[in-house]
Amino acid sequence: MDKEYIKKLAKDPRFIPGIYNYCDRWCERCAFTSRCMNYVLSEEDFDNPQSQDISNKAFWDKLHEIFKVTLEMVKETAEEMGIDLNAIDREEIDRQTEQVHKTAKEQLYCQVALSYIKKVDSWFDSNKGLLENKADELQTLAQADIPDTRPADEAVKIQDCFEVIRWYQHQIYVKLCRAASANVRGELADFEYSPEDANGSAKVAIIGIERSIAAWGGLLNQFPDQEQSILELLAHLKNLLRRVEEAFQDAQSFVRPGFDQPDWDS
């Protein structure tokens, strides 16, 4: 990979500019992979099992190459804009950045999201036997071939709920920290502030919360004996959703490139 190739790709009209900035990174379930430059680059760069294995040297070599090219492009852009990167007070920037991240994580909605991560882990750890029993039950139904039962469909629904919950479990917190960081930066005169980034990141978090609520609702139908514990998780998520919507009142109206533009044709 080289910077000239990346520049060429960036001009390709099939790609939607910035679509990767406000997505949930779930490429396997995305209908826009062919319109996403990041996806195409990652497929080309990490195109074999060795380069996809984080414990393999090939993975880190490829990542190093990407960082090197990215740094070259940053330096080139800075020169074009007349910015002297060597004149920047890096220690001060690092100090302010650390302050931003610390303040962002202290936001109540971030704390609630962090608490949700722990609650989900606790629920799954406490219900390993329950999940195994459900799998045995569905397998027995499948072998019995009882009319008007669809154990295979039920298994797929449960698996989908699990995947949704686990996918967004950590991402909600990460996206909210990014949204909070953007807001905090706006309060510091030395930082460039982008309310769009705050709202865009918050919207991705909201989508993750809403999908997680739907997934837990699906599990509630499958595991009625776990009503109390699941209802507590649902209440936690709805509380989080309320806090996020209050903190980012323009998030829902944020238009994510591609995803919120069904008629995109450019």
pLDDT in tens, 1-60: 566 767 777 788 899 999 999 999 999 999 999 999 889 888 876 556 554 555 666 655
Contact by Cβ (8 Å): 262, 141: no
Q: Per the structure, how many domains does the chain have?
A: 2
Shared-domain flag, residues 175 and 152:
yes
Write down the pLDDT at residue 65: 66
Domain that holds residue 197: 98-247
Mean pLDDT score of the chain, rounded to an integer? 82
Residue 73: count of CB within 10 angstroms of its CB: 13
Amino acid sitting at position 135: A
* pTM for the predicted model, two decimal places: 0.81
Shared-domain flag, residues 132 and 204:
yes
Q: If you search the block for the tokens 């380069």, which residue do you land on?
A: 51
Is residue 263 included in any domain, yes or no? no
Is residue 55 included in any domain, yes or no? yes
Shared-domain flag, residues 20 and 65:
yes
pLDDT in tens, 184-224: 887 765 555 567 889 999 999 999 999 999 999 999 988 98
Q: For the purposes of burial, counting CB atoms within 10 Å of the CB of 88, is it exposed (0-12), middle (13-18) or buried (19 or more)?
A: exposed
Is residue 124 included in any domain, yes or no? yes
Q: For the purposes of burial, counting CB atoms within 10 Å of the CB of 186, is it exposed (0-12), middle (13-18) or buried (19 or more)?
A: middle
Is residue 255 included in any domain, yes or no? no
